[in-house]
Homo-oligomer: A and B are copies of this chain.
């Protein structure tokens, strides 16, 4: 059975595995103090064109969101996010576990709007009762969003300006960052992401790595004793080399972007297949996650030969489904899919 269930169904890109094998018996210090991690940080700093950035490697996305948000917020602050944001919905309360409220605003196709955020912030401070409320202390967005959509440069610049005006950080969840940047619709580079955000993370798990996310503090704003905070939240990896070696490989020879471009190419083909066969898009996603509206009957039929995700119910007779491509998607799978649907 072929699977388009998600973008973490396979292991890692072969170059990463090869690097792990080749460096395996080199003795290194633990906890991110290894030479590979240091080189990977240098490499990333160069690629993102932000020589002063501080970079840390963490294992997974929810963990990264929990740590970044908890360490950058003051304890009386919450984080603004779209109601469909990963932190709002699918992290089992990880943000609240660390004591912070997620302040949800209604998203449009998964996106927040700078005017909307600005209005929220203004209203908050005008409210005579705001001292009895959770202070907004950060804006969280994902690029691409949970619906596969993208912010334009103009939209991101506006959000960035609003955050700076109010002196709160803009945090970009880049679990699928490469798939956003390599989209035909993107008008942003990774250097733009670094410039316009205060902190972001480069997702490795979904783009070629066994695990790993690279947190980037772009404005000399790494929280004090950040390593201790990572340890305190149970997230400090003993063999930091595992993350360092993988990111070093991903950020050598443009690999991260090539892998991302491959997923986009596969997604475009997949989308076209569905369109050609007359299926309805739920949303016109320009990235590696594609959403379609299928009849319940068709869903049941397809599930016999291909794995995909049920996103949500559309109406009594239809479902919204998600097909995801990735760095690992094989052309042969797309061809098989074309026969099935």
Mark A residues whose CB is within 8 Å of B. Answer: 2-3, 5-6, 8-12, 14, 17, 20-21, 23-30, 59-63, 65-67, 70-71, 74-76, 78, 89-94, 96-97, 99-102, 126-129, 131-135, 205-206, 210-211, 224-225, 227-229, 231-239, 241-242, 307, 309-310, 312-313, 328
Which B residues touch A242, using CB under 8 A? 11, 210-211
* Distance in angstroms between the alpha carbons of A5 and B33 in the assembled complex: 13
B234 touches A210 (CB 8 A): no
In the complex, which of the residues A3, A224, A232, A239 has the most CB atoms of chain B within 10 Å of its own CB atom? A232
Q: Which of B20, B99, B233 contacts A234 (CB 8 A)?
A: B233
A239 touches B211 (CB 8 A): yes
Closest Cβ of chain B to A85, distance in Å, is 13
7 new A-B contacts at CB < 8 Å, known A21-B21, A97-B232: A2-B27, A9-B28, A10-B26, A11-B241, A12-B24, A94-B231, A97-B99
Which B residues touch A26, using CB under 8 A? 10
17 contacts between A and B (CB under 8 A): A8-B239, A11-B242, A12-B24, A59-B237, A62-B234, A66-B234, A71-B75, A74-B225, A76-B224, A78-B93, A92-B132, A96-B99, A97-B99, A99-B99, A126-B313, A135-B225, A206-B238
Which B residues touch A99, using CB under 8 A? 93, 96-97, 99
